[in-house]
Structures are given as C-alpha cells and as structure tokens.
Amino acid sequence: MRIIDAKGLSCPQPLLLTRKALAEGLGDFTVVVDDEIAKKNIERFLNHENKKFEIKREDGKILISVKSEVSNKGIIEGIAEAVDNRPVYVFKTKGVAQDELGQMLTGGFLDTIKDVTPLPEAIVFYHEGVFLVLDDSPFLDKLQVLQELGIKVIICGNCVNFYDVVERVAVGEISNAFDILSILSKAHHLIYP
C-alpha cells in the first residue's frame, strides 16, 4: 500500500495530495497527517467522493487508509456546489467595523440574512472574521439560525490554527483553502459586509 506523507504540510496540501492520489487511481493508499484539521478536510472530501476509508491514530500521527472500493454511504452533497443564483457572504474582519456601531450593524446584518431572497449558499469566515464563530461571539445564535436554514458556515482552518482558537469554534465547519476557493469561484456573486 502506498503511503502519502503529509505531516507538517499546511492546508490545503494534505487534501490536494489525497485528491491527486484518487485522480491517479492509486487504489488503496494511506495518507499520514499530524493535524486534526487536515484529517477533517480529508475525511469530508473522501465522504463526498463516496470512498471507503478508516482512520487510526498512532504515535502522534493520524493514518487515513483509503480503499479503492466505493462506500455504501451514498454520495454526500458537495460543499462547493453552486445553487442557482445564490450569493456567498464573506467575513474577513471581526464585523462590519470594530466600534460599537460596527458591532450593532454586524448583528443586524446577520439577523437579516434569513429574510433575504435568495438565501446565501454559504457564509465564509477567514482572517479575523473567524472570531465571529467562536464560543464568546455575541453572534452565535444568529449564525446557528442561519446554519439550521441550510446555509453553510465555512471557517478557514489555517486562520483558526494561526490564532490558536480551533477548540473555541462553536458554529460552522472548519474547512480549507481548496474548498473555500471552490465555493467562492462557483458563487453567483460575493457579498463582503
């Protein structure tokens, strides 16, 4: 079985190596990572691709063994599929602005998204925007409502790693540059509040 050593590689390299191995038709192979976010990204990708795999932990490493046969789980809806003319909202900062008014506007904006037609396909949080999805964010209830409506809440994995807040993410799905760029490139239009 071929081993793909992706230890120490930053997002989205482990995912791209896994994707390349599948595209090349390697059959059975194992991807070795040492990062929980890389594991989650690969796991989500393999589920989307309808692949059988198993995950083991060994000596601080995460081994993801991919089987050549197809899973019987059924195909999971792709995270980057575009839907009709739905926009994607992108938050790069901690809100519309850092002052009191900016925080009030951010809350009002997030509260109003559910009333706009069409609903966005996703809301992407990167750079300092990831602070909006943490356990102490005053906007969690609004984001949870949006997520329950089927809006994808996507968070930059490199960003939460950089700020060392992975364990504090309270809503949404930690993702990677490949998925985020796929979502952005397929969006009908982007909105930066």
- Residue 150: what pLDDT? 93
Domain annotation for the chain: domains and CATH numbers: 2-70 (3.30.110.40), 88-191 (3.40.1260.10)
pLDDT tens figures, 98-128: 788 988 999 999 999 998 888 999 999 999 9
Give the predicted TM-score (pTM) of the model.
0.68
- Residue 10: what pLDDT? 81
Task: Check if the beta carbon of residue 82 is closer than 8 Å to that of residue 187.
Answer: yes
CA atoms within 13 A of residue 34's CA, in its CB half-sphere: 9
* Section 9-35 average pLDDT: 88
